[in-house]
Structure 1
Amino acid sequence: MDKYKLVGFRGEGGQNSFRSRLQRSFPRFLAYCGMMRACRSVPQFRRRKSYAIGLSVPGDADFDIYNAAASYAAHGRAIVHGGDDDTEIVTRNGSRWTKTREMELLATSAKRHRVLVVVDKGTGFPDSFRLAADGIVAVGPILPRHVIAGAKLCLGADVTPEQAAFIATVPLAIISAAMRPGRSISHAVTLMKKAIQPKQKEVSGPTLDDLHGLGEAGAWGRELATDLADWRAGRIGWEDVDRGVLLSGPPGTGKTTFAGALARSCGVRLVLGSLARWQAKGHLGDLLKAMRGAFDEARENAPSIIFLDEIDAVGDRERFNGDNAQYCVEVVSALLECIDGAESREGIVIVGACNHPHRLDAALVRAGRLDRHVRISFPDQEGREGILRWHLQGLLPDADLSAVAVATEGWSGASLEQLVRQARRRARRGRREMVLDDLSAELPRPVAIPAEMRRRAAVHETGHVIVALALACGELVSVSVESAIVPDPQRLQNGGGACFRDKSIKERTHDELLDSIAVRLGGIAAEEVILGQRSAGGGGGRGSDLHTATLLALAFEASYGLGEGLAYLAGDDEEELLAALKLDRFLHERVDRILLDQLRRVTEIIERQRLDVEGVAAALLAKGSLSAGEVREIVAGQSGLQLVEQG
């Protein structure tokens, strides 16, 4: 505990000494004025009674100045008006209140006539002191009138109202360095403007109009820019602005780039935050302080956007267990407090970004927090061409990039940027200007699919189609088979696909779910019936036929109560379902029975419709793709499709 005792000063002589000590530092005088103004809101302080006051001061960089001014705010009244000084000042900056410290603080509050506890915004007060205190108050912003009075008293200088209004917005630490005795006020103001310029300067980069392939996210961002402009002009209230949004999408789709472009389009400050960035500061107390500091920075620079990257790393309190559970719960709770705490959030837009939105705590995405969900997917062909144009930065202005855009289907913005970078390098190595062939040369070369593999792919995809038509499950759009693929060890090799249009509203009944599982197993059943054995093409990774069929069967048994038992064992999201499958041997057996039963069922359908499968597969091999109408014509020209009994 930091203790200051100033005794022996009484009457007029004590007042003169007090004033002479206070006027030695202009920033300390400003801090003193702010603290006195805050303390006067507590009746006991105004009436010169005993008091216990908690004082929250702004800004870590200025804490030492406020700390020095605290002795004048707390002792000053006793000095001026006489009497024994029975005052104690306790300061806390950036460290947690331990149980021992709390007990010492309570003992001091009971023993001393006057107790002033000074903390920074990120530290807060123990609950026990909040009960004992006569008031918990925050030091407000510096007032221009205090600047004018302080400059006259401490520096003997005259400050204009315009200069005072600006100086009142500058941190005390910068004021302390810039406003020195003998230096003109105009020169000091110029120095202060230069000192704060880096904080306000926006990093150059694209705006939303420069980015392509954003889809829904781009439309939302432009709406936000309009709303913020209307809010600044007073045409709408802050309650009409989208204050929290969650961006989700695969890695590399440009969520971080979007945040920077959004801030530039809106003309506001961008504050970056993430769990990894905050954890780098140290232990839990340091992490929480860094987290609150990010929100304080956003609040001090409002209007602003605070971008919380990889927010799914924070986790869900429902899933925490083990030794670190309490730590994780405190992190989530602190983030919720920052997002939707007692302090005003006017002027602050919170943008969270993640790859896995289903891993977020439900409280984070409830109404009033990150309640708007915007998805950023891989760009379409037009978007890919626009992204290429942006990264080319004026190169190849007349070149037709459509062929490159088609060849990069499924690529992220980050991959397209890398493609342009590699093409630039190729041109540099040749000591020449870049040409379109440099881009084409850097594209992965497709490899022709062997005839036997292509036939297997055609049979496999046709199996899905015939089963879906037989069970009237889903609306067929098209089916295709590739003649060549681009080898990529990071992705499943897709030799073809059947495209269905799902119903907008699903009943998800017992029969409908079993039919959905059956359609997903139609491919491997067709391989077994037509080709004699199935390949590994039905599994091998997320999104494969076996993966999606297994998840449906798991939800059927463990979540929906439609299987052998009614017990609710897991939620219907993938992570919970697969965790339950690994832990419960009996659940594993039940899910396996469902899959085997449906495989037998679709095998019977394929055997019964063998001519249809072979006819559609042959046409698919010849043409490469078939529409739903073409498939139906082929089936009608064969034996005719037989609808089978559900179940």
Structure 2
Amino acid sequence: MEIKDKKPKKPLIFYYAIVIIVLVLLNTLLVPSLAERSIKEATYDEFLDTLDSGTVEEVNLEDDVIYYSVKKGNETQVYKTGRIKDSQEVERLKDAGVKFSEEIPQKTSPILSLLLSYIVPILIFVFIGNWLSKKMMSGISGGAGGAMSFGKSNAKIYVKSSTGIKFSDVAGEDEAKELLTEIVDYLHNPEKYREIGAAMPKGALLVGPPGTGKTLLAKAVAGEANVPFFSISGSEFVEMFVGMGAAKVRDLFKQANEKAPCIVFIDEIDTIGKKRDGNISGNDEREQTLNQLLTEMDGFDGSKGVVILAATNRPDSLDPALLRPGRFDRRIPVELPDLQGREEILKVHAKKIKVSDNVDFREIAKAASGASGAELANIVNEAALRAVRDRRKFATQADMEESIEVVIAGYQKKSRVLSEKEKLIVSYHEIGHALVAAMQTNSAPVHKITIIPRTSGALGYTMQVEDGEHYLMSKEELENKIATFTGGRAAEELIFHSITTGASNDIEQATKLARGMITRYGMSDDFDMVAMESVQNQYLGGDTSLACSFETQTEIDKKVVELVKTQHAKAYKILEDNIGKLHQLAKYLYDNETITGEEFMKILAEPMPQIGAEE
């Protein structure tokens, strides 16, 4: 259950708007009315008599009203009277030596003038300032949502709940759960550890690719331990005002100590935990926040049962001081699930929907190789949506398989209709991939071939599925993989004696794999076991950067081109030797648009009919 304020706090601009509106109303209504009360009314005859007596100093002529000031000793009194049409009015005023004024004359009484000009505005500002200050301070004392709560931690607090997340809700991460179970046990039975003198790690860092369940695991720890769970993102510490991030860190740890035992979870900690460079920067908000976090993690008493959990997918960018023992003592990898893990995750999410009894989650897990937990959840949800679209009450195996293709390549693009020539080219292209893969040893079996365009831009694709989990790849397997990538272009060259843009993604994948073989895997005779390339942000795409001279880079480029050309030639030779099967399979794909792996292998195993054979 998340604790929230019953009444949402108003933003600071709301109170400023109220102040401005009040001042405008006072200026337009109250002040003129006060000034108006100091003006005495007179008849037009009295005005003429006063004008004749020569005591009128200033006159302001309005459409229907005449304002005039009369000096009486040391004071000046302002009068007003109705204006009557009089052709001699202006000449009479000039003859009397009256000064014409464009503004309404005000009473020049020093007391009233001081009151209206200084005292009343000051009193108004004091009243509004006092009221505004109380509203702001009430926000500070009432919670994190106040208008001036810059230094308050706005961490979401989850407390004990009957619907809390447990370890049973998290599948596919057995190693991570095992490491976190100790934390749960310590929060339940701290005396067992204190007897032997063992201290619980102050912090644990969850590291892994996006979507693998780092946040879910942290919530499961809190759910299992039945303790308060503070959840905050690293970006929420970074404020516009210098020092506010550090204040939030102090407040967060203060709240945690008050509610101990508890768990504090900081998501995306790399936002504030990046490595500090050598530049001297006294007002760097992020660095001040990091320094405060380091100080707080050193200062708080771990024996109270306050455990700090943090998650990141950029561990290489974190400051070394944050990772030393005594702060984040444990580094818990939360990697992509293996085959067994994917199957368990699919079963967990399948409990939330209605599925057919004959769904084989093992086969679905095989086809979804490399998928994260979040992607697997999306696959199950897409299968349920597809079942609803087809007006069925439950999801089937076909729904699951189609949802994998939706996640990988997008939805079928029904509006895109290929011409007969393009459809034929795509058919030969995809069969080229599949045939080269099938004719090589140590290649993943073909699972499905289709030429139905997808929203990702693919006009067709060939899906290969490994029989089991594959962790190591030999040099020969990688070369076969490159040859499979080039099989589509080789089929176009062999059949149509021309090439198209359809192989752009194949070229990119083949080049990336060939470069990795030479620069990172040590599979080149010339460079032996020397790393020419380093990988950064391995969990976020794995950007690479070369670490060699320009001459060596030129040699690497030559080796990459040579390797891809060799495998391209091998793929062309395979298709040339099996051109009969290439035609037969391409025609079948052209007619049916989709071939399963079983259909493909059946046609491939059939003997070719002998043309012109005697009966």
Per the normalisation by structure 2, the TM-score is 0.50
Report what 2:514 is aligned to: 549
Choose from 495, 503, 509 the match for 2:462. Answer: 495
| C-alpha spacing 1:571/1:325, structure 2 compared with 1 (3 Å) | farther
* CA positional deviation for 1:309: 0.8
* CA positional deviation for 1:343: 3.9
Q: Distance in 2 between matches of 1:384 and 1:625?
A: 23
Choose from 331, 336, 358 the match for 1:371. Answer: 331
Report what 2:445 is aligned to: 478
RMSD of equivalent CA atoms: 5.9
* CA positional deviation for 1:372: 2.2
Choose from 326, 329, 346 the match for 1:384. Answer: 346
Contact 2:265 2:308 in 1 (8 A): yes
* CA positional deviation for 1:278: 0.7
Report what 1:456 is aligned to: 429
Q: Distance in 2 between matches of 1:220 and 1:416?
A: 27
Choose from 588, 596, 599 the match for 1:624. Answer: 596
Contact 1:310 1:352 in 2 (8 A): yes
| C-alpha spacing 1:316/1:225, structure 2 compared with 1 (3 Å) | closer
Q: Distance in 2 between matches of 1:316 and 1:502?
A: 35
Q: Which amino acid aligns with 1:369?
A: D
Q: Distance in 1 between matches of 2:393 and 2:468?
A: 41
* CA positional deviation for 1:598: 0.3
* CA positional deviation for 1:277: 1.1
Matches within 5 A, 1:477-626: 477-483=444-450, 487-489=454-456, 494-497=461-464, 499=466, 518-532=479-493, 540=505, 544-555=509-520, 571-573=534-536, 578=543, 580=545, 589-610=554-575, 624-625=596-597
| C-alpha spacing 1:302/1:598, structure 2 compared with 1 (3 Å) | same
* CA positional deviation for 1:256: 2.8
Contact 1:477 1:499 in 2 (8 A): yes
Q: Which amino acid aligns with 2:433?
A: H
Q: Deviations over 1:111-145 (max 9, x none)?
A: xxxxxxxxxxxxxxxxxxxxxxxxxxxxxxxxxxx
Larger Rg: 2
SS at match of 1:291: helix
SS at match of 1:546: helix
| C-alpha spacing 1:501/1:214, structure 2 compared with 1 (3 Å) | closer
Q: Which amino acid aligns with 1:601?
A: T
Matches within 5 A, 1:147-166: none
| C-alpha spacing 1:319/1:199, structure 2 compared with 1 (3 Å) | closer
Q: Distance in 1 between matches of 2:200 and 2:436?
A: 50
Residues 1:344 and 2:344 are matched in the alignment: no
Q: Which amino acid aligns with 1:259?
A: A
Residues 1:277 and 2:236 are matched in the alignment: yes
Q: Deviations over 1:601-646 (max 9, x none)?
A: 223433554466668877898973379xx89x979x9xxxxxxxxx
Choose from 251, 263, 266 the match for 2:225. Answer: 266
| C-alpha spacing 1:336/1:306, structure 2 compared with 1 (3 Å) | same
Contact 1:388 1:417 in 2 (8 A): yes
* CA positional deviation for 1:310: 1.6
Q: Distance in 1 between matches of 2:457 and 2:321?
A: 34
Contact 2:450 2:461 in 1 (8 A): no
* CA positional deviation for 1:200: 8.2
SS at match of 2:302: coil
Q: Distance in 2 between matches of 1:582 and 1:332?
A: 31
* CA positional deviation for 1:268: 1.6
Q: Which amino acid aligns with 1:260?
A: K
* CA positional deviation for 1:454: 4.6
Contact 1:556 1:562 in 2 (8 A): no
Q: Distance in 2 between matches of 1:544 and 1:536?
A: 15
SS at match of 1:350: strand
Q: Which amino acid aligns with 1:374?
A: V
Contact 1:320 1:328 in 2 (8 A): no
| C-alpha spacing 1:252/1:616, structure 2 compared with 1 (3 Å) | farther
Q: Deviations over 1:16-68 (max 9, x none)?
A: xxxxxxxxxxxxxxxxxxxxxxxxxxxxxxxxxxxxxxxxxxxxxxxxxxxxx
Report what 2:260 is aligned to: 302
Q: Deviations over 1:548-602 (max 9, x none)?
A: 4344444369xx9986699977633367985645998766544422220101222
* CA positional deviation for 1:373: 1.6
| C-alpha spacing 1:581/1:537, structure 2 compared with 1 (3 Å) | farther
Matches within 5 A, 1:282-431: 282-314=240-272, 316-317=274-275, 331-332=289-290, 334-339=292-297, 341-346=298-303, 347-361=305-319, 364-365=322-323, 369-375=329-335, 377=337, 380-390=342-352, 400=357, 402=359, 410=371, 412=375, 415=378
* CA positional deviation for 1:435: 4.2
Contact 2:202 2:306 in 1 (8 A): yes
Residues 1:220 and 2:220 are matched in the alignment: no
* CA positional deviation for 1:361: 4.5
Report what 1:146 is aligned to: none
| C-alpha spacing 1:426/1:304, structure 2 compared with 1 (3 Å) | farther
Q: Which amino acid aligns with 2:349?
A: I
| C-alpha spacing 1:293/1:522, structure 2 compared with 1 (3 Å) | farther
Contact 2:206 2:310 in 1 (8 A): yes
* CA positional deviation for 1:276: 0.8
Identical aligned residues as a percent: 15
Choose from 198, 211, 214 the match for 1:255. Answer: 214
Report what 2:28 is aligned to: none
* CA positional deviation for 1:420: 9.6
SS at match of 1:352: strand
Query: How many positions carry a matched residue from both structures?
Result: 415
Q: Distance in 2 between matches of 1:365 and 1:221?
A: 17
Q: Distance in 2 between matches of 1:423 and 1:609?
A: 39
Q: Distance in 1 between matches of 2:470 and 2:488?
A: 28
Report what 1:153 is aligned to: none
| C-alpha spacing 1:616/1:243, structure 2 compared with 1 (3 Å) | farther
Contact 2:273 2:322 in 1 (8 A): no
Report what 1:42 is aligned to: none
Contact 1:225 1:265 in 2 (8 A): no
Contact 1:529 1:603 in 2 (8 A): yes
| C-alpha spacing 1:545/1:247, structure 2 compared with 1 (3 Å) | farther
Matches within 5 A, 1:184-223: 201-202=159-160, 205-209=163-167, 211-216=169-174, 219-220=177-178, 223=181
Q: Deviations over 1:137-192 (max 9, x none)?
A: xxxxxxxxxxxxxxxxxxxxxxxxxxxxxxxxxxxx9xx99xxxxxxxxxxxxxxx
Contact 1:487 1:493 in 2 (8 A): yes
Q: Distance in 2 between matches of 1:302 and 1:402?
A: 46
* CA positional deviation for 1:270: 1.0
Contact 2:238 2:286 in 1 (8 A): no
Per the normalisation by structure 1, the TM-score is 0.48
Q: Distance in 2 between matches of 1:484 and 1:238?
A: 65
